[in-house]
Structure 1
């Protein structure tokens, strides 16, 4: 079966911007703005990922809870619904690739564990972590104070959200609540961005403006079809995934990027079962690869270099309770 790919150009200066052309090349190329200091690189979308790897650190590996060390594997829950460049299927339509599996691989390496990637839906991700079926989730999970009641976190990336609209549409920017007044917009149910959107609607109502009509789409293909057909005016979701889709499809554009909490900065983190004592080792492993540069290499590989954090924290301040 033939494999079709696209040359993808990202400009990473402050926020991810768009420029692209489609070609049947063997790989997706990501060229960063030289001012961002990341140079240029090629993204491999084949099953043979040749992932960036890290060395085991015995001192940190010894801190992994004994049952996990005895098993020798790190069971990681990731999104199975396909959200490049976060986590998606390679050209064989089976192998999970993306920035989330790559970071999980680095952590597993430092801990001396074999990485076991387990795809799941967003709805089930929290259940499999809470039950202990998977030890950790790497799936663009935002730290919130409510989630910290049930889970532990080790931060590893800045959380940013984006607004995607039709490329030939009339909407040019969405930066504040008033910009979505009266629009029909879509968001994933149970996500952090849903909470931001609901808060924006409250602000519009208080200001005497029309609230946005919300249409819930759980899978990327659902919102993409709704956007293409005009059933929705805009989609609100994780900025990296939206930029990737807008660039590859050539049919949409990003008209606004906001912090993960709307007005409040947020962090993406690895999530574990509360009190299972794994998260300190995860955070220390992340700090090892942050310090030795492997972490930055992974982010740059997927065009997300500007979402790097200087230090991983255990249970950092999360978004406030709703």
Structure 2
């Protein structure tokens, strides 16, 4: 019997989803041998739905040949130029559940789109990163108090964040939905499509803000409201999709498209909005302009496009990096 206001659906086999999740979290490649370098790229089935594919991680080197630009290095503060390092606050990403943004191979090497972009920017600026780990919630305060020169954790540019830090944009992500394969809902184009469903997301994010702001839309339309569950980790959300405790995962577009292409029993349901993402720096810091100029140098050289092609997310880059672009929220 289905719950009123909630689509009835046959629960997928949890064992299959759990096995796929175990592969995604713990290994660079599961099942099969001789993975190809494009195994991590998104592929699509008929109708544009990402299709499950190998969990192989692309390995091509798109960074080491990038040359330093002395003029751009000169834009950095003298203290950074003298020591040759920029302190970056980043989020630890074990396993591969954080890809395409960041993850680890089986030998512990950190990889991902954000990693390649960060390293490419450092190459252009003629410096290296001193990487320090924080949490999504602690990195921006760490940038504010000087603990980090730069923060990078897929931070969307929002009006609230622009009040406390500056941004140098480097990609466009979005707000999208992932569902179980047999959920009788094939797309989400507006939040009222979620009425009566259980939606999982991460606390302290734009996703929470969007769901909270729209919470009254379902009752106003005479429909059962959606229920929101919050998780700090992706693993219980994917397991929830498998056992029916979660109907839909609301999260970043790039990550959810990657999940749909790599986790059996899931499907991408669409994107409802987009957000410019950037490196966060202290208000008024010259580092922001140096980072933006470095990204623009990479765009002009074609290295930027090669990085996005490696991770199968072409079309999600920026045409021009800007300091403090317009906020989406």
Q: Same fold (TM over 0.5)?
A: yes
Q: Where does residue 19 of structure 1 map in the other structure?
A: 51
| Counterpart mapping for 1:273-292 below 5 A | 273-292=282-301
Contact 2:84 2:128 in 1 (8 A): yes
Unaligned runs of 5+ in 2: 1-25
The structure with the largest strand share of the pair is: 1
The 1:157/1:58 distance shift into structure 2, 3 A limit, reads: same
| Counterpart mapping for 1:283-322 below 5 A | 283-320=292-329
**Greater C-alpha radius of gyration:** 2
| Counterpart mapping for 1:130-141 below 5 A | 130-141=144-155
Counterpart CA distance in 2 for 1:302 and 1:21 is: 14
Counterpart CA distance in 2 for 1:273 and 1:18 is: 38
Selected match of 1:208 from 217, 222, 236: 222
Counterpart CA distance in 1 for 2:153 and 2:214 is: 25
Counterpart CA distance in 2 for 1:246 and 1:87 is: 16
Counterpart CA distance in 2 for 1:282 and 1:187 is: 30
The 1:248/1:316 distance shift into structure 2, 3 A limit, reads: same
Taking only aligned residues, the RMSD between alpha carbons, in angstroms, comes to 2.3
Match status 1:70 vs 2:79? no
> What's the CA shift for 1:78?
2.4
> What's the CA shift for 1:4?
3.0
Q: Where does residue 174 of structure 1 map in the other structure?
A: 188
SS of residue in 2 equivalent to 1:255 = strand
Selected match of 1:50 from 53, 61, 69: 61
> What's the CA shift for 1:101?
0.9
Counterpart CA distance in 1 for 2:273 and 2:28 is: 36
Contact 1:163 1:255 in 2 (8 A): yes
Q: Where does residue 4 of structure 2 map in the other structure?
A: none
> What's the CA shift for 1:22?
4.1
Contact 1:81 1:121 in 2 (8 A): no
1:124-148 Cα deviation digits (max 9, x unpaired): 2223222222211222110011101
Selected match of 1:100 from 110, 114, 120: 114
Counterpart CA distance in 1 for 2:130 and 2:210 is: 33
SS of residue in 2 equivalent to 1:19 = coil
